[in-house]
Amino acid sequence: MPLRPDQIYTLEKSVWTHDDFERMGWHDVAIHAITFRPEVYEFVLDVDYIFAWVDPEPPSAYFSFWMSPATLVFQNVIGFKAHFEDPLGLQILDISRKDPRPPKNAHQIPLKTEWTWTIDLVQGEMEFSAAGFCQYTRRKPVRCASQEFSLEQRGPVSFDRPESLAADNPSSEA
């Protein structure tokens, strides 16, 4: 449910995990960069995460968004497949998971359930198996008119993983 224009989004926590999956959503989230860390079986995305949609404020007919740059890290990844129609800009439609099962290397990792993950994109699809994820919020959310930060607004591509954020107040209209 979108926020009212007079509501301010308050960040509940800066690190989200697979335990929060049912409370999260990635619809319309922009992907700015992707990297693989095969030595530790990670698939990492640099995204503009939308924490909340805000109802249009009359006379505008358009939603605004509380969002922040974030690093999304999938853990214990195997079997990665992808298909892109037009990879010049990637936007997530949805992230889903299915087929829970014990990981093949369950005796070596702390996570005890592996899933088949699908990232549906406007431009295609990515699918892989992973035991979980962590999403690191890199900056306090700001209210924006667009669903994607410009490079000037968000800063350079980053795969940083801050465990916490400074206690800044949220701001609006990035």
**What percentage of the chain has pLDDT greater than the value 90?**
83
Instruction: For 81-104, write each residue's pLDDT tens digit.
Output: 999 997 678 999 999 999 999 998
Whether residue 129 lies inside any domain: the answer is yes
170 pLDDT above the threshold of 60: no
Q: Which domain holds residue 37?
A: 15-148
Place of tokens 């530790």: 40
Average pLDDT, the chain: 92
Whether residue 2 lies inside any domain: the answer is no
Whether residue 136 lies inside any domain: the answer is yes
Domains held by the chain: number: 1
Instruction: For 145-166, write each residue's pLDDT tens digit.
Output: 999 999 999 999 999 999 998 6
Whether residue 122 lies inside any domain: the answer is yes
Instruction: For 104-124, write each residue's pLDDT tens digit.
Output: 887 888 889 999 999 999 999
**What percentage of the chain has pLDDT greater than the value 70?**
94
Which pLDDT score is estimated for 173? 53
